[in-house]
Amino acid sequence: MDLAREIASLKARRNAVILAHNYTLGDVQDIADFLGDSLELARKVTATTADIIVFCGVHFMAETAAILNPGKTVLMPDAFAGCPMANMITPKELAARKAELPGVKVVTYVNSTAAIKAMSDICCTSANAVKVVQSMGNAEILFVPDQYLGHYVQTQLGKKLHLWPGFCPTHRRIRPRDIQEARNAHPAAKVTVHPECMPETIAMADHVGSTSGILRYCRESDADEFIIGTELGLLHRLKKENPSKRFYPATELSDCPNMKLTTLEKIFWSLSDMEYEITVPEDIAERARAPIERMLEVV
């Protein structure tokens, strides 16, 4: 069976659109109608005229799509594709921390559950975190759940934030030692890393950006070689879009197993059986929508 062709015909029959994150498997990226970072995907879901959104990524992204599109059906080909960082904070824990910091404004990275977003003042992605925090003026900020992205924002704005101790296990595997070894092996290469990396790793990079930021940097740079400090899936798109340039992962260990759960077979079955529908309880969705929309207004 030609899966790509079968998926295309099912998609047309169902008036569906396939959105995929930059970290998904190469063959999933290749059949997606739209490929992007978390911010681009969140914007795209509000613009689509499709009835069904097949989300190839992780659970919090599909939840965001469902929150922003109450009338549409959002499907995930693998319902178990979660994000460990999103599970590093619970509503009870956040409520307790807020009680310790009266008047604090909560800025929540979109890599979080809908229930956490519902308790937040504004959301951000890795592409707009600095601008979002900047938009909060002099307010005291509790930044959740990614301590490293929060730390990066602090260094960019020279402003102290209260940081939640969450992190991305995939990006934490990219150590300063890996950057040094990659630089030794490829001395002419530029180093670009994601802000989910540890501060010590970020300090060694020439550039820091979200997945779309890394793509832009590599496209626009005069350099021919790049060391990439993010999840390995981005290498597929980097190589495809820049065939004359060379890309080396900072480490082969920066793989996100959840992003790799979505396969062409599962997309086919998802569209065929209309599974697995992602829904958010209306009371939570209503409260989570405002901080997401506030973010989309800022940038």
- Residue 52: left (phi > 0), alpha (psi -120 to 50), or beta? beta
Residues in region 2-31 near ligand 13P by CB under 6 A: none
| Interaction between residue 111 and ligand 13P (CB under 6 A) | yes
Q: Which is nearer to ligand SF4, 7 or 215 (CB)?
A: 215
Q: Which of 6, 84, 186, 207 is close enough to bind ligand SF4 by CB under 6 A?
A: 84
- Residue 66: left (phi > 0), alpha (psi -120 to 50), or beta? alpha
Cα 207 from Cα 172, distance rounded (Å): 17
Cα 210 from Cα 129, distance rounded (Å): 10
Q: What is the CA radius of gyration of the chain?
A: 19
| Interaction between residue 261 and ligand 13P (CB under 6 A) | no
Contact between 255 and 48 (Cβ < 8 Å): no
Q: Which of 29, 48, 112, 126 is close enough to bind ligand 13P by CB under 6 A?
A: 126
Cα 69 from Cα 270, distance rounded (Å): 19
Contact between 98 and 84 (Cβ < 8 Å): no
Q: How far is the CB of 197 from ligand SF4 (least distance, A)?
A: 11
Sheet strands (E) in 125-181: 141-144, 162-163
Pick one of ligand 13P, ligand SF4, none as the site partner of residue 258 (Cβ within 5 to 8 A by kind): ligand SF4
Tokens 């994150």, residue located: 21
**Structure tokens given for 273:** 């059986």
Q: Which is nearer to ligand SF4, 7 or 45 (CB)?
A: 45
**Per-residue x/- track, 132-171, ligand SF4 (CB under 6 A):** ------------------------------------xxxx
Sort 219 into a burial class: Cβ within 10 Å, 0-12 / 13-18 / 19+: exposed
Q: How far is the CB of 129 from ligand 13P (least distance, A)?
A: 9
Cα 201 versus chain centre, distance: 19
Amino acid in position 160: K
Pick one of ligand SF4, ligand 13P, none as the site partner of residue 78 (Cβ within 5 to 8 A by kind): none
Q: Which of 35, 42, 85, 271 is close enough to bind ligand SF4 by CB under 6 A?
A: 85
Q: Which is nearer to ligand SF4, 82 or 176 (CB)?
A: 82
Residues in region 134-163 near ligand 13P by CB under 6 A: none
Of 70-78, 122-130, 149-157, 263-271, which part binds ligand 13P (CB under 6 A)? 122-130
Q: Which of 108, 210, 254, 270 is close enough to bind ligand 13P by CB under 6 A?
A: 210
Q: How far is the CB of 20 from ligand 13P (least distance, A)?
A: 11
Q: How distant, in Å, are the alpha carbons of 63, 192, 242 from that of 75? A: 10, 33, 31
Which H or E run contains 16?
Answer: strand 16-21
| Interaction between residue 127 and ligand 13P (CB under 6 A) | yes
Residues that bind ligand 13P (CB under 6 A): 37-38, 58, 83, 111, 125-127, 168, 196, 210-211
Residues that bind ligand SF4 (CB under 6 A): 23, 58, 83-85, 111, 168-171, 196, 231, 256, 258-259
